Every structure is written in C-alpha cells, then in structure tokens.
Amino acid sequence: MGSLALIARSAGHQVSGSDQNIYPPMSTQLQSEGIELMDGYDPAHLQPRPDLIVVGNVMSRGNPVIEYMLAEGLPFTSGPQWLSEHILRDRWVLAVAGTHGKTTTSSMLAWILEDAGLSPGYLIGGVPNNFGLSARLGEAPFFVIEADEYDTAFFDKRSKFVHYQPRTLILNNLEFDHADIFADLEAIQTQFHHLLRIVPPNGLVIQNQDDTALAQVLARGIWTPVENYGQGSDAVWQSRLQRDDGSCFEVLYQGESLGTVDWSMTGGHNVANALAAVAAARHAGVIAEAAVDALNRFDGVRRRMELRGEVGGVKVYDDFAHHPTAIATTLQGLRKQVGTGRILALLEPRSNTMRMGVHNDRLPVSLENADRVMLYEPEGLGWNLDGVASALGERANVYHTIDSIIDAVIAEAKQGDAVLIMSNGAFGGIHEKLLEALQERTP
C-alpha cells in the first residue's frame, strides 16, 4: 500500500494514509515524497471527504474507519483494482509471482529494463538499492509488479494478481503459505490457475522447472508459450556456477553462454531469480547478453540479506525471511559466504502463518545451518517455541523480550561472527539497538 501511494502521488494525486506501527524504510520514503502519514484508524482521518479511499487488505469489518466509510457512503476501491484501472490498463505488465523471491526478482527485472534505457514503472514490496524507492510510475510501456497471491480486500477475496493482467509472467515457486486465508496448497494452486487463464496467447510464462507444485498448476491448463529455467539439462535457461556461493555464475540459454554475472548477491535461490529476470527482460525486447551484464550492477534490495553494519568484526545482517524455506535458503547462502565462521540466527515468527504455528515442525530443520539460534516469543504469539528450541538442542534458546536477545548476543558474539536477523516486520528495532550495544562493548 505504501508503494501504491507513491504511484498515486507520481500520477498527480494528493495522497494521505492511515496505518499502525509505520516503520522505515517505507515510512521515510513516503514522508520524503510528501505523503501524509496518520497513525491509527480514526474516522477523523477521512475528513474532509476524500475523492476516493483505497482500502488495503489488512482492513476488515469492525474497524472504526471502515465502518465510518461504509456508513457515510464514501467511494472506495481496493489497491489492485485502482492500479488496474488507472495505471496498468495500457501498460505491458511484467509480473513476478510465487511464494519466495518476488521482491528480489522484481527488483532485478526492473533494474535490467532501467539499465537498458527503458525507464520502466514498477511496484515492489521492498526498496531496490538501485532505485531507492519501492515504486514509481515510470514511462510507458513497461511496468514491473510483484504479484501477490494474498486476497485483495475484505470485499474482494480474489488474489491480488488477477487484477494485474500480465503479458509476461514469472512463476518462481509455490508452497503452502498464508494459512489465514488458504486451507491448503491446492487452494493456492487454484488461484495460480486463475492467473494463468488471463495471460494472453502472445505473452510468455517463465516457469521454475524444478518446482513440482507449479508443474501441477500448468498441467491444469496453459494457453500461453512457456520458457522454463532450472537445474535440469532440458531447461531453456540454466546457470553454471563459477563460485559455489552463487556470487559468480554463467547464464546459459539453450546451452549457449550469454555471459557471466559477478555480483554481491549469494545463494542458489538468487541465481534462479536472476535466470527468471533475464528471461522476462528478453521477452520485453532487451538483448539477453545486455540483461546478463546489467545484473553485474544490481545492488540488491533492502532487508534481503542486507548488511546493516559491522562492529568489532561482528557483521549484522537483516533479512525478510519468514517462511521455513526462505529461512533455510537464506542461511544456506550465508553459510557458503562465511564458510566455517559462526552464524547467530535471530528469528521473529511474525507472519500470520507463523503466528498460527502452521510451520512450527519445519522450523528446526530450516535453522540447521545456524550455530546459535535465538527465538523471539512475544506476548500473544499463540503457540510455544520451546519445542523448536528443544529440537535444536543446546544451540537454541527462547527469549521473551528484545533486550534479553540483545544481551545474549552481546555476551556471545565475537570477531568473525555473522548475526542474521530474520523477520517480516520491524522486530522492535533490534537491528540498530544491537549495533549500538556492540559499539558500546567495543573498546
């Protein structure tokens, strides 16, 4: 919604917004663009009467501002619907869908188009370092969008991505997530099937060949050409690693090398993301070799393995990982980067699915690459993390306050360690608090 506000502001609208617990980097970029932020959901925020209210999917009946909006008959729509009608209607939409990697892949794709001089619009759920903003209107025809399967609004239970009508569609992967709205994996696959039904016959679907759940979706029907990428020898797009950590690799198209990517990113998942982005850019007319070369200048995304600081030889990383698979792949990438160095993993189970305890049995395995695990169990989590800690043995502990986690890290961290903080929220500002505490400890 914050990114959508930036788009609306760029399109010439006066924009304000209400939310709770607004935190950087979104809060700072909105304020820098002249968008008024109002804390909480007070009906007074809708006075004077706005021309239109764009309702985010976190809002529900019973919320005072929603009840006021309905009682007063104020005009409203959903974010995806507004975007579809006012921004995307005449654009070539390149959408990135899947459980993991949407933000990073969308950022790569937008950067490749930018590097090619195409000035794309984009709407991304993070802040690409190459741009410094999570969204912009851009110039026609191209628009890159992170296409989420979560539902649209309290009055529209379709997945957001069906509003976007992409011509180029990346399908990264598919796992069970969003347990608060989907009963099982099959329910999510049905939404992806609906998405495939609206991709035009002159479009392109770019599919992760190594994902079984995606293959099952395509088996239900596909009316658009498909290019796949993956590790199989028959994949159209492949990679050839030059360094085991994924920081250097060749991109292959139909077995022929298109060039080498040598970048700051790590992990096999990011290599796969890169293949998808290059394939999508090629469909939009970017010469594949130029797309590969552009990735050498890709600077990553904030909160995706972002190095927040280093004090006394201790590196502190921030990552958005909040699903067992994302946690595992993030740790695998960091492990290959640090080698035998110690990893201290700090995890806040904050997503709706995590808070429901749906993936609790998978968490111990996902954290196996960490030398020490510090689990944050806030008040009202709804389930007990002791079982996860017990499965990990002596290397894991549960903490109930931010300060106690910081104290534990300060007592244990030593030169050469990597501290990886994982959460899809602010985690109580632990990143800066920890860096400050490390600074105070350093002689």
Give the CATH number of the domain where residue 374 resides.
3.90.190.20
State whether 100 and 211 are in the same domain. yes
Structural domain for 402, as ranges: 306-441
Query: Quick one: pLDDT at residue 108?
Result: 97
Q: What's the CA gap between 205 and 374, in Å, rounded?
A: 40
Nearest to 409 by CA among 309, 316, 308, 305: 316
Give the CATH number of the domain where residue 108 resides.
3.40.1190.10
Residue 310 sits at φ, ψ, to 5 deg, of -135, 125
State whether 214 and 134 are in the same domain. yes
Query: Quick one: pLDDT at residue 144?
Result: 98
Contact 113, 283 (CB under 8 A): no
Q: Which residues of 373-397 are buried (b: 16+ CB within 10 A; e: fewer)?
A: bbbbbeeebeeebeebbeebeeebb
Contact 192, 174 (CB under 8 A): yes
Query: Quick one: pLDDT at residue 177?
Result: 81
Please enumerate in sequence order all residues whose Cβ is within 8 A of that of 374, keeping only pairs 6 or more positions apart, or say none: 344, 345, 346, 347, 396, 397, 399, 405, 408, 409
From the CB of residue 371, how many other CB atoms can be counted at a distance below 10 Å? Answer: 16
State whether 292 and 312 are in the same domain. no
Q: What's the CA gap between 107 and 115, in Å, rounded?
A: 12
State whether 258 and 168 are in the same domain. yes
Structure confidence by residue, pLDDT tens digits, 370-381 = 999 999 988 878
Q: Which parts of the chain have pLDDT scores under 70?
A: 352-359
354 within a domain of the structure (yes/no): yes
Quote the pTM value: 0.81
Contact 191, 184 (CB under 8 A): no
From the CB of residue 194, how many other CB atoms can be counted at a distance below 10 Å? Answer: 14
Contact 383, 354 (CB under 8 A): no
Nearest to 329 by CA among 173, 223, 437: 173
Residue finishing a domain among 272, 297, 322: 297
Q: What's the CA gap between 244 and 77, in Å, rounded?
A: 48
* Number of domains within the chain: 2
13 within a domain of the structure (yes/no): no
